[in-house]
Amino acid sequence: MFLKDSPKSKYDTLTPSLLKKISKKEESLDERVIEQETNAEEIADIISKKLLNLIEKKVTL
């Protein structure tokens, strides 16, 4: 009686294969975030090098 009346969890109806797909999606999101952080660091390095070059040129003039 108690189990019949208890509310279902949202995960009760998920199959193992569906749970596996969900976990893979979460992993791929983490990988994308790491990739974006890496790209941002590379862009920041390029910009800082260009700024340093411009400053050096201005100082030498």
Q: What is the pLDDT of residues 22-43, one digit of tens each?
A: 777 666 777 777 788 888 899 9
Tell me the residue range of the domain where 30 lies: 15-60
* Within-domain flag for 9: no
Domain count, the chain: 1
Does the pLDDT value for residue 52 go beyond 90?
A: yes
* Within-domain flag for 3: no
Local structure of residue 11 (DSSP, 8 states): T
pTM score > 0.75 for this model? no
* Within-domain flag for 2: no
* Within-domain flag for 28: yes
- Residue 9's pLDDT is 60
* Within-domain flag for 10: no
pLDDT band at 5 (very low <50, low <70, confident <90, very high): low
Round to whole Å and give the CA distance between 61 and 58. 5
Q: How many helices (H) and strands (E) does the chain have?
A: 2, 0
